[in-house]
Amino acid sequence: MKPNIEAERDAKAGTITMDEIWIQGGRRLQGRVACGGSKNATLPVLAAAMLAPGRYTLTNVPDLMDVATMAKMLGQFGITSERPEKNTLLIDTRNQRNAEAPYELVKTMRASIYVLGPLLARYGEARVSLPGGCAWGPRPVDLHIKGMEALGAEIEIDHGYIVARAPHGLRGGAISFDISSVGATGNILMAAATAAGRTTIENAACEPEIEALARFLLSMGAEIEGIGTPRLVVNGVPDLHPADAPMIPDRIEAGTLLVASAITGGDVEVTGVDPTHLGAVLNKLEAAGSSLETSDTTVRLRAPERPEPINVTTKPYPGFPTDMQAQFMALLSVAKGASTIVDTIYHDRFTHVAELERLGADIRVEGNTAFVQGVEGLSGAPVMATDLRASAALILAGLVAGGETRVSRVYHLDRGYERLEAKLASLGAVVRRVRP
Ligand code: EPZ
């Protein structure tokens, strides 16, 4: 599969493609497909490379837009990156300098906020644009800011920018989150790694991507205890050194591919997976009637004609991930009965509902709960992607809808999936990317 050079070109040019994905529904998916490396593990690891000058080789790196955007963001700071092959990224931070993380870039990808901690740690000052909202609502960064203040930084907001200073360097502190935050936990881990003294983080995020970041920091010479638990202790070290690492598998891509099998009554084996990262998702797929076979690196899912109705509530890891909520809504829209989906992480992450209804789904939203009445079948129609996981949900629904479904604005999809349509086609789906 050729590198997603369009994504690289568009990211470099700052443009977006208006491609569409067209699907002829009704095919039962069968076969074997590989899952790629984790987008949400790669982004913080790229930011962590800012902590130590040198060269880094990262492998199993997905070839998708958000990674290209983060590489472009690092370029603002004099950091070069190259892909000697599709899923390998070489990062060189030997000529790194401090600069500003500009609104034009940060607004396109909220994860840009990950540069805040490393900049403060390296230079004692940072100027990072506030990210703004996203398709489904506000995305605050107050926990990131509180974390940096706990490490001794002085923060002010100036014309939409976070202006952070730690003239005497960062020092260890005690942080306790009232809500679990993946990004804030990652940012604080990176800032604390070279802060003077000990940092404790209570109610830290336990997502595999944060565990992977912590292990990457360990490989750079950081001292971190409690990795994978909600209580992290960081003993600051004077400096870190570069490291190489493979990215962990993308559990959300794996979950999306498994739902593709489940929604079409298919029989698909996904390889290159870490099933231990998918416990809650696999439990819910079984509850919805699928049978699973797992090995250390694979999951095979065989599905009945139609899924059973179930109830899903999203939670921080190891609970059911909010990033699988939209995909499950597509699945349950054709279940044999009524299901409920509650999103406790983002109360308004339901922009995919109106588009699923265009395909014939019967969904009612009250607050942060969606009541999904399964229907016999969906019917293909033109629909519009509104965000990354909504795009995937619409494509999944198109796999089972009668006739043709045309999903527009798939630049959302390209942010977080590496040629998803090609992977689905390799399993027998009639799907193609169309450039209008
Ligand atoms: C990460 O976003 C993921 N992104 C998201 O995946 C994922 O949906 C989210 O975690 C939850 O699992 C990346 O890893 C790049 P949070 P993040 O901080 O870190 C609130 C995808 O599809 N909050 O864990 O931004 C926040 O509003 C993306 O790949 C604050 O109130 O999420 C939310 O309700 C979409 N203040 C909750 O915490 C803050 O300062 C969890 O957010 C930060 C967050």
Per the CB < 8 A criterion, the answer to whether 89 and 33 are in contact is no
Instruction: Give the pLDDT confidence of 351-386 residue by residue, as tens digits.
Output: 999 999 999 999 999 999 999 999 999 999 999 999
Longest dimension (CA), the chain: 65
Rounded to the nearest 10 degrees, the angle between the axes of helix 39-48 and helix 251-263 is: 170
What pLDDT score does 149 carry?
97
d(CA 93, CA 77): 9
d(CA 142, CA 239): 27
DSSP element (H, E) containing 395? helix 388-400
Pocket test for ligand 1, best of 313, 323, 420 (most atoms within 8 A of CB): 323
**Distance (Å) from CA 57 to ligand 1 centroid:** 27
Report the sign of the C-alpha dihedral through residues 141, 144, 150, 151, in that order. negative
Closest CA to ligand 1's atom 17: 183
pLDDT reading at 152 higher than 90: yes
Long-range contacts of 289-294 (CB under 8 A, 24+ apart): 290/258, 290/261, 290/262
What pLDDT score does 132 carry?
75
Q: pLDDT class for 165, splitting at 50, 70, 90?
A: very high
Closest CA to ligand 1's atom 28: 323
Beta strand 362-366 with 267-271 is: unpaired
pTM of the model: 0.96
Q: Quick check: is 134 catalytic? A: yes
Of the listed 16, 34, 99, 134, which one is catalytic? 134
Instruction: Give the pLDDT confidence of 239-286 residue by residue, as tens digits.
Output: 999 999 999 999 999 999 999 999 999 999 999 999 999 999 999 999
- What is the end-to-end Cα distance of the chain in Å, rounded? 22
d(CA 174, CA 103): 30
**Distance (Å) from CA 43 to ligand 1 centroid:** 13
**Tokens 């999203």 sit at which residue?**
314
Is 284 a pocket residue for ligand 1 (Cβ < 6 Å)? Answer: no
pLDDT reading at 324 higher than 80: yes
Q: Tell me which of 3-7, 74-78, 100-104 is least confident.
A: 3-7
Strands, E, within 204-295: which ranges?
A: 223-225, 231-235, 245-246, 267-271, 291-294
**Distance (Å) from CA 145 to ligand 1 centroid:** 14
